[in-house]
Amino acid sequence: MASQAKGLQNFISDLRNAKSKEEESSRVERELAKIRRKFASGLSSKSNEDGSNTSLSSYQRKKYVWKLVYIHVLGYEVDFGHSEVLTLVKSNKFSEKQVGYVALSLLLRGSDPLMNSVVNSIRSDLVAGGASKGSNSVQIDTAQSLALCSIANISGLELIQALHVEVQHNLVSKTSSPNVKKKSALCLLRLVRTSPNLFAGREFAPHIAQLLQDRHLGVLTSTMSLLNGLAVQHPTEYETLIPYVVHILGMLVIKKACGKEYLYYKTPSPWLQIKLLKFLQLYPNILAEKDANPSSKASTAQLTQVVQKILTETDVSDSINKSNADHAILFEAVNLIVCWGPSGPTQLREAAMKLLGKFISVREPNIRYLALMTMAKLAQLDTGSAEGVKKHQTTVLVSLKDADISVRRRALDLLFVMCDSDNAEMIVDELVNHLVLADAAIREEMVLKIAILAEKYATDLRWYVDTILKLISISGDHVSDPIWHRVVQIVTNHPQGDLQAYAAATLLVAASPRRCHETAVRVAAYVLGEFGFLIAERPGMSGEEQFRILHQHWHSSDETTRAILISTYAKLANLYEECRPLVAPVFARCKNSVDVEIQQRSAEYAAMREAFSPEAVEDLLREMPPFEDKEQTALELRLKDKEGEDSATFVKAARPSVEQRQRAAQAAAAAREVEEEAQRQHYEEEGGEEDYDEEDRLQDLAPVGIPKEIIPAMRKAFSNLCTCSSGVLFENNFIQIGLKHDYQAAQGRITVFFGNVTSNLLKHVRISIDDCDHLRMQKQGTEGLLDDEEGGGCSVAARTQAKLLILVETLAPFDDAPAMRVKFETTEGIKHEYPLRLPIVATCFMEPVELASGAFMQRWKSLEGQERECQEIVKAPQSAPEIDEEYMEKIRSIITDGLHFGHCQGCDPTPWTISGAATYRTGSKDKNGNNINVGCLVRVEANPQARAFRVTTRTLHPLCSKAVKNVALVSIKLA
Amino acid sequence: MISFILMVNKQGQTRCSKYYQWLPMEERVALESEIIRKCLSRSELQCSFIEYRGYKTIYRRYASLFFIVGTKPDVDVTQVEGAAAENRENELGLLEFIHNLVETMDKWAGSICELDIMYQLEEVHFILDEMVMNGYIVETCKGATLRPVDLLERESRKGEAMFK
């Protein structure tokens, strides 16, 4: 062993004994100062032309350079002494040269300008080994190796470009020793990587072929690295080398022909085998080529034989090293099978699948990790492998809970890849459940993947919205902006069904609690601003309520959220008169905000009403148009950033699922329909009335909806009808819709009249009512009324009515009202379409119960608890008189007559409380065949000073509590 | 490709490091300390692979010494396609390569320990240079690997010692 310099020894000992990082660094600083001084001393008189100090002895120079190397390895910047390193490289003495080259490759960067001055010296080493004359061939060889090594490890472009001819020569020269050859190969690889155009690929294939016939396994190993690098860039030009590679593989695997020194625990050089198999993975189609010539046929036959042997004969052995090495090869062989895909032999694929299935449940964590990873690749194949993978779903789910984060990541990836339409719901739910327990390191990744899967495989987009909401509530911090933006995009782009109303309602509920995640507030704010009007007539979801629910988060929100909230407020204020006085102070305050965006938005929105005409304001605050569907969504891009383009997960994410295609087709069909409709109308008009003006024609394209000005009146009518047995539901210049309803236990009978109030005929009057799970409905109407085909429907003459009779039975508690769409066409051909709601709410099915005060209190107490209780405070309307006994009497009649509750007189100690009890009757039967009923209690407490009422409901079913509370609130407000 | 090789003691101090891709010093220190922290905190029952910031790290523990190999996707693909590529290294292969490295060092210094690496850092580098070049395995035969070190010793006997 080489003896060490004493100074260096001492220095290392000092560092070793350093008790703290500070002590270490002060020692290093001292040493650096000393070395700098040594290098600089007497520089002016005795320096070389390249700036190194000639007064240093060889020993000193080596010692100081080594110290620099050591300091560098410890993680300190070393920015001087480079010229001394170069002097060592240029030296004739072997020992100096060696130190010089090692230091060169560690301390200097390839692009360092100093490198230029050393090029010639390296070149002479490369060509003949520039060591001192008379040195033996071993030394020449070693000097060459050293030079190659340093080029390969660090060199920049200039250096390798200057020297690549020599390197290439060394590689192919017959006189080069194996040692030089193998290093030249990796040196060239660097050239191939950094400047591929410099390197002529085609002509080089024969040289590689020659190198592949070398007997030296070291040469083969490095040649294979070079070949892999070349073939990745130009696969076709190296295809001819496949037989050579297969031959070597055959020698190693089947004949086990390998020098003793290259046996690793009796396995012939596993690393070479890995590289050979990697090369073959670049040619996924070799087994598919039918018209292959006999020689290549023989080689593919040999190849399958080799793979077969690896697959069947790899076994766990006593030595962990042997076992690892063999499995390394095995996994590479499986990778090759995955590459072949369907073109490979089925039995190999099945065997691989079986092995992986075994491996994912072994104890050895490394094997489990790799098996999960490889299985993810296999699951990507289209041929039945996916089915095979699915069998292991339960095992993979177990791995998701593994103690090891690396294994968990792989399991997550695999689940992501194996997810398809059949098991998506289960996998996503499982992932969401696991998210609660998952640790921070993996959460972000999980959230992203769940979001992608939920979008991909949602058969019902409502499920997608629910899933994302769950993500926000479980792990809101990891739900990045692109994820919630995507929700907005999807909701906006899919008007089919009642997704938009559903999303608005769900988000409103999600934002209701005082504490909810900021991301939830953002989505809710945006979606309510856009689609809040769709749910405004539902009880407890009026514009005012929407504002109240959103605004409670104002103080805990940051600037970005506030900016979104402000836009939403502007939209709410535009739609609902009663919101304006609420919104105005917010804008007034924010006009002075320090945040520019908030300041600008609030100032502009506040001034808008005065500055523009109502139509212009309407235009400005209209819903956003559908978003453009991009090729790659932001989520996919994120995944790509994280995992790379070739990763199995990304490939998976980029491929559209059946559901996505269906949705896209639906959207396209809807768009086409609108267009065709427009065109047809266009023709009709052309034929009919030729002097129709252009402007009117444009207006005809889409059906006329409910004008915004009558929305408040409409909502009031709806709320009235919830507690009245008859009344007008909707009224405008064309049609009056009246309604009569009465209920008996779980059943109800609703009659709806559609009166034509114009002096002309109304054509194609059509009604459609959405089915819902909790109501069983039977409909019967004027002939044609329920025929929801385009062009169908019945005609209603002037001043006459069409009639619709609905028989309903409730099956379960609910808290919304069924949707009804009314469509008709005037004689001018203008289409109208009004989305309305039928006032069939939970309280319709109540049956009053008379309770003595003791019994009431007993039940009241027994129903305590978060889920069962609902409470809300409501202000008496501005116009109402003072709250006195007369007023309370009115409230009482609301409870008894409107809500169908029995008044429990005994338990109201003061005139300011009213308690009621009722039974909610459903038509569903329990196990014994009895109807299921839900007991409901309500209490209204008035505070005359504050002019407010507190409504508390307690029932056995959370939905019941909510529904009763909502109806009570609305009715009290209208009293 | 192999992007770096680290030898670290169980206190987490780097005793030898070799990089095959240039990283600025601050980045290097930050990366090293984070990866070392992760390796040290893992138990025997967990697998030997860690994924961190685009690196797949394979590590192995020998008594008080940790050997850590960091791998990255091959450089060229990154440059050509402008996108991150798949990491094509064989994890178990590298795990056993570490063992091969340790066996080689055992053959050179008896049973290798932290002190051997500290005081004979230059020779560790010679050995590493023989086994890995430009981020790829070049030699796995112990005899061939140790030849330059043997040569050095012969030279030193001839009076041209490393440090004299």
Minimum Cα–Cα distance from A230: chain B residue: B76
A498 or B99: which leads in pLDDT: B99
Token pair, residue A537, equals 């007539």
Mean predicted lDDT score pLDDT of chain A: 81
Where residue B81 falls among pLDDT bands split at 50, 70, 90? Answer: very low
Least CB-CB distance to B118: which of A16, A187, A370? A16
Q: If you search the block for the tokens 């070149």, which residue do you land on?
A: A123
- With CA atoms as reference, report the closest residue to A970 among A881, A864, A899, A889: A899
Each residue of A191-238: pLDDT tens digit?
Answer: 777 776 666 566 788 888 888 988 888 899 989 988 888 888 888 888
Three-class SS state of B122: helix
Query: Across the interface, do B80 and A233 touch by the CB < 8 Å criterion?
Result: yes
Where residue A901 falls among pLDDT bands split at 50, 70, 90? Answer: confident
Query: Across the interface, do A261 and B141 touch by the CB < 8 Å criterion?
Result: yes
User: Interior CA angle at A704 toward A808 and A564, to 5°?
Assistant: 90
Q: In sequence order, which residues have a C-beta less than 8 Å from that of residue B68 and are 6 or more positions away?
A: B4, B5, B6, B7, B8, B35, B36, B39, B57, B58, B59
B84 or A150: which leads in pLDDT: A150
Q: Which of residues 86-125 of B touch A (CB under 8 A)?
A: 86-88, 90-93, 95-97, 99-100, 109, 118-123, 125
pLDDT > 70? residue A42: no
A655 or A806: which leads in pLDDT: A806
Q: How much is the average pLDDT of A67-79?
A: 83
Q: Identify residue A22 by its one-letter amino acid code.
A: E
Q: Which of residues 353-382 of A touch B (CB under 8 A)?
A: 365-366, 368-370
Specify the CATH class of B2-77+88-155 in words.
alpha beta
Q: Identify residue A812 by its one-letter amino acid code.
A: A
B96 within 8 A of B64, measured Cβ to Cβ: no
- With CA atoms as reference, report the closest residue to A534 among A502, A501, A509: A501
pLDDT value for A897:
82
Q: How much is the average pLDDT of A709-729?
A: 80
* Number of neighbouring beta carbons within 10 Å of residue A555: 7
Percent over 70 (pLDDT), chain A: 87
Any B CB within 8 A of A400 CB: no
Where residue B93 falls among pLDDT bands split at 50, 70, 90? Answer: very high
Q: Is A65 annotated to bind ligand?
A: yes
For residues A941 and A72, what is the distance between their CA atoms, to the nearest angstrom? 78
* Number of neighbouring beta carbons within 10 Å of residue A582: 17
A712 within 8 A of A576, measured Cβ to Cβ: yes
- With CA atoms as reference, report the closest residue to A118 among A89, A97, A95, A81: A89
Each residue of A748-796: pLDDT tens digit?
Answer: 888 888 888 888 888 888 888 888 778 888 888 877 777 777 667 788 8
pLDDT value for A194:
73
pLDDT value for A132:
41
d(CA A596, nearest CA chain B) in Å: 36
pLDDT > 60? residue A57: yes
Query: What phi and psi values does residue A514 have, to the nearest 5 degrees?
Result: -55, -45
Question: Within 13 A of A934's CA, how many CA atoms are on the CB side?
Answer: 29
pLDDT value for B82:
39
Please report, for chain B, the start and end positions of each structural domain, with discontinuous segments joined by +. Answer: 2-77+88-155
Query: Across the interface, do A366 and B156 touch by the CB < 8 Å criterion?
Result: no
Query: Across the interface, do A110 and B90 touch by the CB < 8 Å criterion?
Result: no
For residues A644 and B124, what is the distance between their CA atoms, to the nearest angstrom? 34
- With CA atoms as reference, report the closest residue to A236 among A302, A282, A297: A282
Q: In sequence order, which residues have a C-beta less than 8 Å from that of residue A57 and are 6 or more positions away?
A: none
Q: Is A391 annotated to bind ligand?
A: no
pLDDT > 90? residue B154: no
In eight-state DSSP terms, residue A235 is G
d(CA A489, nearest CA chain B) in Å: 27
Q: In sequence order, which residues have a C-beta less than 8 Å from that of residue A941 and are 6 or more positions away?
A: A912, A913, A949, A950, A952
pLDDT value for B97:
94
Three-class SS state of A645: coil
Query: Across the interface, do B47 and A369 touch by the CB < 8 Å criterion?
Result: yes
Q: How much is the average pLDDT of A563-589?
A: 88
Least CB-CB distance to A370: which of B29, B45, B91? B91
Tell me which long-range contacts A315-322 makes (C-beta under 8 A, separation of at least 24). A319/A265, A321/A264, A321/A265, A321/B96, A321/B99, A322/A265, A322/A266, A322/A267
**DSSP secondary structure string, A322-375?**
HHHHHHHHHHHHHHHHHHHGGGS-HHHHHHHHHHHHHHTTSS-HHHHHHHHHHH
Query: Across the interface, do B137 and A221 touch by the CB < 8 Å criterion?
Result: yes
Q: How much is the average pLDDT of B28-35?
A: 91
Least CB-CB distance to A645: which of B76, B83, B162? B83
Residue A683: exposure state from Cβ atoms within 10 A (0-12, 13-18, ≥19): exposed
Q: Which of residues 274-293 of A touch B (CB under 8 A)?
A: 274, 278
Query: Across the interface, do B162 and A222 touch by the CB < 8 Å criterion?
Result: no
Percent over 90 (pLDDT), chain B: 28
pLDDT value for B113:
87
Each residue of A78-121: pLDDT tens digit?
Answer: 888 888 888 888 877 777 887 888 888 777 776 666 777 777 77
Where residue B31 falls among pLDDT bands split at 50, 70, 90? Answer: very high
Alpha helices by DSSP H, A731-836? none
pLDDT value for A274:
93
For residues B149 and B140, what is the distance between their CA atoms, to the nearest angstrom? 15
Query: Across the interface, do A325 and B93 touch by the CB < 8 Å criterion?
Result: yes
Q: How much is the average pLDDT of A489-494?
A: 84
Where residue A684 falls among pLDDT bands split at 50, 70, 90? Answer: low
Of A482-491, A509-518, A624-633, the range with the lowest mean pLDDT is: A624-633
Each residue of A164-187: pLDDT tens digit?
Answer: 778 888 888 877 788 888 888 888
Q: Which of residues 622-681 of A touch B (CB under 8 A)?
A: 640-641, 643-647
pLDDT value for A950:
86
Where residue B156 falls among pLDDT bands split at 50, 70, 90? Answer: low
pLDDT > 90? residue A272: yes
| Interface confidence (ipTM) of the complex | 0.91
With b for 16 or more beta-carbon neighbours within 10 A and e for fewer, the B9-29 pattern comes to: beeebbbbbbbbeeeeeeebb
Q: In sequence order, which residues have a C-beta less than 8 Å from that of residue A14 and are 6 or more positions away?
A: A27
Best of B136, B142, B147, B155 to mutate (most A CBs within 10 Å, chain A): B136
pLDDT > 80? residue A482: yes
Q: Identify residue A205 by its one-letter amino acid code.
A: A
Q: If you search the block for the tokens 């609660």, which residue do you land on?
A: A436
Is this structure's pTM higher than 0.90?
no
pLDDT > 70? residue A972: yes
Q: How much is the average pLDDT of A671-678?
A: 70
pLDDT > 60? residue A974: yes
Question: Kind and range of the H or E element at A809?
Answer: strand A801-810
For residues A875 and A10, what is the distance between their CA atoms, to the nearest angstrom? 85
Minimum Cα–Cα distance from B149: chain A residue: A1
pLDDT value for B163:
44
Mean predicted lDDT score pLDDT of chain B: 83
pLDDT > 50? residue A134: no
A144 within 8 A of A124, measured Cβ to Cβ: no
Question: Within 13 A of A691's CA, how many CA atoms are on the CB side?
Answer: 0
Any A CB within 8 A of B63 CB: no
Three-class SS state of B76: helix
Q: How much is the average pLDDT of A535-548?
A: 86
pLDDT > 70? residue A577: yes
Three-class SS state of A614: helix
pLDDT value for B6:
93
For A150, A305, A494, the CA distances from A530, given in Å and listed in that order, are 64, 64, 13
Minimum Cα–Cα distance from B28: chain A residue: A75
pLDDT value for A246:
92
For residues A182 and A168, what is the distance between their CA atoms, to the nearest angstrom? 11
